A and B are shown apart, each in its own frame.
Chain A
Amino acid sequence: QVTLQQSGPGLVKPSQTLSLTCAISGDSVSSTSVAWNWIRQSPSRGLEWLGRTYYRSKWYNDYGVSVKSRMTINPDTSKNQFSLQLNSVTPEDTALYYCVRERPLGGAFDPWGQGTLVTVSA
């Protein structure tokens, strides 16, 4: 059974960097058949895909067009986890952030982490 455990601060000041980590159990961040994603959810923007990292002989990253210039996802093979960094945050980035595995079944997201509510406020 695969589980994802998220960690990171729930409050970030405007213009600073939002950082979250997702620890993986029951699978490997280096698996060549899945991808590791970040998705957020807010009342104003709904569910929004942010990006992913995956390994296929080398590491690849894809980022959503809305956050591409501010977003970095890094895998950590030594700890079997991956992280999210979102720079220059504004109150618009306030949301519930999820880490999610993408299965090789039509891009299905399963499972999801427990979610981390991040508030951007001074």
Chain B
Amino acid sequence: QVQLKETGPGLVQPTQTLSITCTVSGFSLTSYYMQWVRQTPGKGLEWMGFIRSGGSTEYNSEFKSRLSISRDTSKNQVFLKMNSLKTEDTGVYYCARGATRVSYWFAYWGQGTLVTVSS
């Protein structure tokens, strides 16, 4: 069955770079868009961006200048990297997938990984 699991650092210092890995099983990354969504106390749920089945990306302009999404299809992993972290970036980061190859909603979610930005 479809499974997604995020792995993150837990604690990140302000100004540093956040790196999170989403490991998937039950499907191929070359067949589906993979999404990143975060949930913060200040802004709630926010769509961050996605990587298409073909490997191109789309980002929320809110994060565009500091966000990068990539993948390793051989390892069934999707990566989120975001630099210049601020305390407001504290929250839970989710990877998600649509129901079909191109979906405009999120049918499957990982458990999320809590990221705390603090010195």
A and B: interacting chains: no
